[in-house]
Structure 1
């Protein structure tokens, strides 16, 4: 076993790459992250994330204790288990609420992307390098690997980790045969800010996350509301935030991150017009959003009035279109000093919120493997090989689940939809069946 200090080079500063960097940095392992974005705030947008227990465990284990406590304090409560409803908001099934008193690392948290990214970057000023566009890598005769960047610079380490997303250049070189395939679903999503004017919303929409299974198409909703007021959070964890080099007001009271209900409508591509508005830079977001809102509203004419009103009142500039693709299963490959994690290898449709949690699982699994290497307990390549086996099994199980949900949402067969609704109804009245299928 090598006694040389381990150096890890991570390409990509998304949640998986940064979670890994936090965990390695805390363990005293030399790690450097190279991110194509030019500044830390380049990605402060998008919907909040539902961090499931698998992701909570990873963040708890990888983050320094004070950052984990801040994450929990600034997160929201997603509610007592997901509900499955008809389009008339008739309950088919509700997942069991988690047992009271569980440790936060075993709970689900509704996390702001803005807050999560800032926490993942905290304390890594000397670790994360922005404005570095990865172009390829070179494996060296001495067992090291060198990452090459567009500006002519490079970085050499014992292990290169591709955490550079669904269009990963690391994966393209490492596994040129790996493919991503488009899937026939189209998603349209929006956000309605909560406030005094939202009292008309049905209780189900403001208390938990929900899946609506009508005779055709599909709708998912989730409420994102902080567990406590901004002022209370600042008062309780403000000193910890400042000690971590974070501005409490900026982190907790970001005006772009108000509490809201988000919705995601999914349909088969054939069910929608061929000229569905795309995210074109020369078309104002409001114009695209209005057209998308009209298309969704036209498909919901016989749905519950509360759901129709949710769509109708959503500001047009928050409404976006999403096209879906999924990674094809990759067989294990000969392990080298280059590996991948998250969407770089097992990207999936954003249905069910599985992708981010799978990336966090990968980060924690690789962290554990590399800490053992750093301690001299394992050689590098066997440890990476064991990580890759676990990562592929977990990641592509999530791909299968996300793809199954998408197929359920887009299949035009009313027979299949009826069978699915009957299945959820049975799970709703038979607790043993429900727990066997949906327990964490």
Structure 2
């Protein structure tokens, strides 16, 4: 067994790469992150992310205890299990509520992406380097690996982790044969503020996640409602934030934003007219409204009342499954290997799963319990199984959203209705 300290290089500072960095740093393992963005706030996003139990476990395990506590305190409640409805808001099925008494690390949390990023960066000064665009790597004769960057600098370590997203340059060099699957859907999303003027919204729209399955197309809604107000959060965890070197006003400011309902309309690319090529604005919103003829009036009103500046289009892509490869001192994490359509919020949680699995593997190496390559091989087996399972699930939901066969649509609605009536079938199909 090697007695030299393990040195890990992470290319990419998204949630997966930063979660891994937090976990390795806490374990005393040398880690450095290189991110192409020029600054931490270069691309802050306002939408929130549903952290499912698999992601909650990862963040609980990787973050220092005080940062985990702050994350939970600033999170929102996504509500009970997802409901499945017809376009007339007739309930077909609702997922079972999670069991009572679950620990916070086994629950779902609606987390601000901005707050999550700030917490994942906390305590990593000198570890995360911005303005570092990865270009290529070289595996050296002494068993190390060197990463090269566009500014002419380089870094050498024992392991390079590609966490550089769906267009990963690390993957491109490591697995040049990796392909992309056809994902023909187009998504249009927006968010509507919750206040006294939206009291007309049905309770389902303001309390939980919902999937609307009409005779054509698809609509998903999710509510982002804070568990407590920003002032209360700041009073309760302000001292912890300051102790972590964080500005309470900066971290909590996103929790002072309005609660809202987020919606995402999905259709087959060929089903939409040319105006769907726009990236954002009123034209996209009006297009969605025009597609909802015959739907429940409250659903049409949800879309038509949405401010145009929150409405945007997004395209879908999915990685084709990759067969296991010969393990080396270069590996991959999250979207860099198993990117998927943003349907069901599976991608971010899969990246967090990877980060935690790789953290555990590398801790065994740093303790001298396992050699590096066998540990990475074990990680890659688990990562590929879990990650491409998530790709398969996300792609299945996307196909359900975009298929245009009335017979298959009717069959799917009947299946959800049956699951709604038979608890044992529902639990068997929709258990984690």
The residue that corresponds to 1:422 in the other structure is 414
Q: Using the alignment, how far apart are the partners of 1:153 and 1:253 within structure 2?
A: 36
Contact 1:12 1:36 in 2 (8 A): yes
- Displaced runs of 4+ in structure 1, greater than 4 A? none
Q: Deviations over 1:50-87 (max 9, x none)?
A: 11100000000000001011111111111110001111
Q: Deviations over 1:277-334 (max 9, x none)?
A: 333xxxxxxxx41110111000101111111111001111111101111100100000
Match of 2:363 among 359, 363, 371: 371
Cα shift at 1:251: 1.3
The residue that corresponds to 2:305 in the other structure is 313
Q: Using the alignment, how far apart are the partners of 1:389 and 1:253 within structure 2?
A: 40
Q: Using the alignment, how far apart are the partners of 1:365 and 1:254 within structure 2?
A: 30
Q: Using the alignment, how far apart are the partners of 2:135 and 2:182 within structure 1?
A: 25
Cα shift at 1:181: 3.2
Contact 1:2 1:376 in 2 (8 A): yes
Q: Using the alignment, how far apart are the partners of 1:228 and 1:213 within structure 2?
A: 32
Q: Using the alignment, how far apart are the partners of 1:161 and 1:393 within structure 2?
A: 18
The residue that corresponds to 1:409 in the other structure is 401
SS in 2 for 1:19: helix
SS in 1 for 2:147: strand
The residue that corresponds to 1:262 in the other structure is 262
Contact 2:229 2:256 in 1 (8 A): no
Does residue 186 (structure 1) correspond to residue 186 (structure 2)? The answer is yes
SS in 2 for 1:42: coil
Cα shift at 1:256: 8.5
Q: Using the alignment, how far apart are the partners of 2:126 and 2:225 within structure 1?
A: 33
Cα shift at 1:274: 3.0
Contact 2:275 2:284 in 1 (8 A): no
Q: Using the alignment, how far apart are the partners of 2:46 and 2:392 within structure 1?
A: 24
SS in 1 for 2:2: coil
The residue that corresponds to 2:389 in the other structure is 397
Relative to the length of structure 1, the TM-score reads: 0.97
> How well do the aligned residues superpose, as a CA RMSD in angstroms?
1.1
The residue that corresponds to 1:323 in the other structure is 315
Contact 2:16 2:352 in 1 (8 A): yes
Q: Which runs of 5+ in 2 are unaligned?
A: none
SS in 2 for 1:3: coil
Contact 1:50 1:109 in 2 (8 A): yes
Relative to the length of structure 2, the TM-score reads: 0.98
